[in-house]
């Protein structure tokens, strides 16, 4: 079976989390900034798209080379056997990105790459300078970093954070793969209770339920590889069936509350779409009134963060309430994500560990308070 050079992409700071997920799935990995490389067959492409929780995309590395000028870029791209990858009617959008390289104009890198592929296909298919691009889509990208060019085929399509269970609404929910990545930075594996007391649209609680029940996060969606004409069409439905047979019962409760009943309705709809509505206890309750008789679990939350001074003051008052309510729960490990650099001061305790992350473009800290468990 043909082996491909593959890599997963992810948000900054999640490389080790994705590498760990790949290792658990049985792959040997090599990590770079923003990428984790591994090797695999078409079956592995399906498996990783289906199962990786915190990655963005899985790509096939087609070729890498030094690109110091436009001639070498054109020639190296032209030299690849494009007809073996792209049928005559393939749609193949090319994205270009360059970082710290001699070839620094992204539009030029993109258009020269596209031109070299078109010229090669025209000659390989004996066409007269015209390709219809009316068929299936093969998303390509050329990425040049410190003059090393890599041309890749995206097997995922829409980023893996789009699981397919989320209903759109006006709020700013956390991305699903980001929520899963945060959970993977904790020891959570479904054997202990989990509480999100500011659940919003429920992303953390739903991703926790998927982890606890061993539900593959890609179960509901299609991928770019579904359109590739050389891809074995049996693999995707086979692996989805296999994944469905691996679903487990929930062992420990998952609690999701929020002060706002209207966001809880959205959270419930999302949980329903993900098939985990019965696994999460949703309740409208304000932090100050929060009580639990659960023990030895995890509290995880993404409390509001105020950009404007007035909002910041009310967020900080909430962090103080959080300290009063959650700090006495000493046998819970607690994890809070916020962009407020003064979180610890208002919460009332210095974190055991702080991890710098980016939630979209927002620089945030993941404040971790590890429990003293006997």
Site residues, ligand SAM (CB under 6 A)? 173-174, 197-198, 200-201, 203-204, 258-260, 263, 286-287, 302-304, 318
| Size (the chain), residues | 374
Alpha-carbon Rg for the chain, nearest whole angstrom, is 23
CB 145 within 8 A of CB 110: no
Q: H helices within 92-155, ranges in order?
A: 106-124
Kindly report the CA angle at 361 between 357 and 366, in degrees rounded to 5? Answer: 25
Span between the terminal Cα atoms of the chain, in Å: 50
Question: Is 90 or 266 the residue whose CB approaches ligand SAM more closely?
Answer: 266
Beta carbon nearer to ligand SAM, 248 or 288: 288
Pairing mode, strands 57-66 and 148-154: antiparallel
CB distance 85 to 2 below 8 Å:
no
Judged by beta carbon, residue 66 or residue 272, the one nearer ligand SAM is: 272
Cβ closest to ligand SAM, residue 76 vs residue 176 = 176
Q: How far is the CB of 163 from ligand SAM (least distance, A)?
A: 13
What span, in angstroms and rounded, lies between the C-alpha atoms of 102 and 69?
A: 7
- By C-beta, is 10 or 195 nearer to ligand SAM? 195
- Report whether 22 contacts 15 (CB < 8 A): no
Closest CB to ligand SAM among residues 110, 333: 333
Which one, 229 or 313, has the nearer CB to ligand SAM? 313
d(Cα 135, Cα 128) in Å, to the nearest integer? Answer: 18
Query: Which tokens is 351 given?
Result: 């974190």
Parallel/antiparallel/unpaired status of strands 333-338 and 362-369: antiparallel
Distance CA 213, CA 278 (A): 12
Closest distance between ligand SAM and the C-beta of residue 176, in Å?
9
DSSP state of 275: T
- Three-state SS string across 296-309, please? CCEEEECCCCCCCH
Q: Which residue lies nearest ligand SAM, judged by its C-beta?
A: 200
The token pair that represents 314 in the structure block: 């009310």
Which residue lies nearer to ligand SAM by CB, 88 or 286? 286
Q: How far is the CB of 137 from ligand SAM (least distance, A)?
A: 30
Closest distance of CB 158 from ligand SAM, Å: 18
Distance of closest approach, residue 52 Cβ to ligand SAM, in angstroms: 19
Q: How far is the CB of 286 from ligand SAM (least distance, A)?
A: 4
The nearest distance, CB 34 to ligand SAM, in angstroms, is 23
Least Å distance, CB 297 to ligand SAM, is: 18
């Amino acid at each position: 079976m043909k082996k491909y050079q593959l890599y997963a992409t992810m948000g900054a700071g999640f490389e080790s989390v994705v590498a760990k997920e790949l290792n658990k799935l049985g792959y040997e990995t090599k990590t770079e900034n923003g990428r984790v490389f591994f090797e695999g067959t078409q079956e592995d492409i399906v498996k990783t798209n289906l199962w990786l929780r915190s990655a963005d995309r899985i790509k096939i590395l087609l070729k890498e080379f030094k690109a110091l000028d436009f001639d070498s870029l054109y020639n190296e791209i032209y030299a690849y056997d494009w007809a073996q990858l792209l049928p005559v009617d393939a749609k193949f959008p090319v994205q270009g990105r360059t970082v710290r390289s001699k070839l620094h104009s992204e539009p030029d890198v993109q258009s020269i790459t596209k031109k070299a592929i078109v010229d090669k296909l025209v000659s390989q298919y004996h066409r007269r300078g015209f390709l219809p691009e009316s068929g299936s889509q093969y998303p390509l990208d050329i990425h040049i970093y410190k003059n090393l060019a890599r041309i890749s085929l995206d097997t995922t399509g829409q980023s893996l954070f789009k699981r397919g269970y989320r209903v759109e609404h006006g709020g700013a929910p956390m991305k699903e793969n980001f929520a899963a990545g945060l959970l993977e930075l904790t020891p959570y594996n479904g054997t202990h209770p989990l509480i999100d007391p500011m659940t919003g649209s429920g992303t953390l609680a739903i991703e926790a339920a998927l982890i606890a029940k061993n539900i593959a996060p890609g179960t509901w969606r299609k991928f770019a590889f579904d359109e590739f004409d050389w891809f074995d069409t049996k693999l995707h439905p086979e692996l989805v069936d296999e994944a469905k047979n691996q679903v487990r019962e929930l062992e420990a409760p998952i609690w999701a509350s929020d002060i706002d009943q209207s966001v809880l309705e959205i959270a419930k709809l999302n949980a329903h779409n993900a098939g985990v509505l019965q696994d999460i206890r949703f309740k409208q309750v304000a932090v100050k009134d929060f009580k639990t008789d659960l023990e030895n679990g995890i509290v995880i939350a993404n409390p509001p963060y105020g950009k404007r001074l007035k909002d910041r003051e009310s967020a900080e008052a909430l962090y103080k309430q959080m300290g009063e309510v959650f700090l006495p729960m000493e046998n819970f490990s607690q994890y809070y994500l916020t962009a407020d650099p003064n979180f610890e001061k208002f919460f009332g305790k210095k974190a055991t560990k702080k991890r710098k992350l980016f939630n979209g473009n927002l620089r945030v800290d993941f404040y971790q308070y590890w429990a003293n468990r006997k």
